[in-house]
Structure 1
């Protein structure tokens, strides 16, 4: 099978360039202390003054939807295992491994590099600044990036199992919820979440482009019939035995 990149929407590389440029511009704007920092502070002060106890408790539960290592990675691995058994191919795990590797080499290093404190920090006089405190790990929001990448993985694995509307909800609802909860709870600055959306969409498009069905898996899996296609097969709903 030829290794040809899969199409994405919007098509072409121009949108990837927009996402990357937006992330760089946003980061530089924060480094140069643009008015965006004032917006971050204003949003932080507003939500801190308008967060009743019941809302804090409820949204902390919803915020767990973005925990990568504790929730999303294990969930994606379980779904990949079920799809592997159902379609008799190990290729669903390739997407999970790819997502794990891509988020591992981007989110953590960026957080360590930018050194931004959380919006909830009240001890430092300027927690909103980038490259300010060695213990800062706020920028970009890992929960939001994880939500975009991992719920995109789940949507790709479950396409055809659920109706298209449900798949779209899986892909897009969680990131929006996480953007709101992390900002409203002052776990992150507003711009942490906006930067995470730009980065998450870029990573998601990279994963969508890779032709996972064309990745060579070796003769042993081929001979055992565990290396067949998964992502280019007919939708599950079109297979009588799975209706």
Structure 2
């Protein structure tokens, strides 16, 4: 139950309870981080390069024009800057207006910060060229390659397309379900949220590797990092976060947990 804090201008609520994730428990998050660290360490020691080069060679020799353009179009599903972030922002604004609450915008802001402080710095730190580089494959495949020439793209690891897709489609599914509730659809079509969370990221994973935009280990690392961040965001009890009492009661809860 809500209680007004005296003299503080804030709203006190009962102890925050994390929202459920599947699989439950932090053990799975630990496995994701261990997997990410393991792949990074293996690459740093020169392992998995053969796998990366084999997948790249197969993709480059099995890419007819029709398949290329189909993959290129579907790969846009992973564009964070001009597609996923604006789409999530639009859904956040629409859900906020319908529910008369600022809380949906907090979800978008948190996802933006989470992607900004994880994916970008990881790419800068690892210094890896893309498989489409003009450098010899045995040189471009290396991670922590501080000897890349000036102007060479060196932010391939992990795949931002894959990580962004997992994180942002998780946010989009959460906001879309909440928006449908405000439109009188308390029970969205079965599997809708799950399909949004799984299908686009899976497509992006396949296309970004097939097009040689990323090495296969880039995509796997992006998958692990994206799932970890997504699980953190999914756990946040957005309706229970204490907020200052705002004009118009736009701090109201119940956006993600009720039909009102």
Fold conserved between structures, TM > 0.5:
yes
Aligned partner of 1:187 in structure 2 is 213
Kindly indicate whether residue 68 of structure 2 is the aligned counterpart of residue 56 of structure 1: yes
Structure 1 residue 164, shift from structure 2 partner = 2.8
Displaced runs of 4 or more, over 3 A: none
Aligned partner of 2:37 in structure 1 is 24
Structure 1 residue 153, shift from structure 2 partner = 0.3
Aligned partner of 1:70 in structure 2 is 82
Listed as ranges, the gaps of 5+ residues in structure 2 are: 1-12, 181-187
Aligned partner of 1:213 in structure 2 is 239
Aligned partner of 1:231 in structure 2 is 256
Aligned partner of 2:222 in structure 1 is 196
Normalising to structure 2: TM-score of the pair?
0.85
User: Helix, strand or coil for the counterpart of 2:249?
Assistant: coil
- Mapped to 2, the partners of 1:92 and 1:126 lie a distance apart of 45
Structure 1 residue 215, shift from structure 2 partner = 2.0
- Mapped to 1, the partners of 2:195 and 2:72 lie a distance apart of 21
- Mapped to 1, the partners of 2:116 and 2:124 lie a distance apart of 12
Q: Which structure features the higher share of helix residues?
A: 1
- Mapped to 2, the partners of 1:199 and 1:208 lie a distance apart of 14
Aligned with 1:116 (options 125, 128, 132): 128
Structure 1 residue 217, shift from structure 2 partner = 2.6
Matched ranges for 1:36-51 at <5 A: 36-51=48-63
Aligned partner of 2:98 in structure 1 is 86
Structure 1 residue 123, shift from structure 2 partner = 2.1
Computing the radius of gyration from Cα coordinates, the structure with the larger value is: 2
* Stretch deviating more after TM superposition (141-150 or 57-66): 57-66
How many equivalent residue pairs? 232
Structure 1 residue 149, shift from structure 2 partner = 0.2
Kindly indicate whether residue 170 of structure 2 is the aligned counterpart of residue 157 of structure 1: no
Structure 1 residue 233, shift from structure 2 partner = 1.6
- Mapped to 2, the partners of 1:52 and 1:166 lie a distance apart of 33
Normalising to structure 1: TM-score of the pair?
0.91
- Mapped to 1, the partners of 2:250 and 2:189 lie a distance apart of 27
Q: 2:245–2:251: 8 Å Cα contact kept in structure 1?
A: no
- Mapped to 2, the partners of 1:132 and 1:195 lie a distance apart of 17
- Mapped to 1, the partners of 2:124 and 2:81 lie a distance apart of 18
- Mapped to 2, the partners of 1:77 and 1:30 lie a distance apart of 36
- Mapped to 1, the partners of 2:207 and 2:156 lie a distance apart of 14
* Stretch deviating more after TM superposition (21-30 or 115-124): 115-124
Kindly indicate whether residue 154 of structure 2 is the aligned counterpart of residue 136 of structure 1: yes
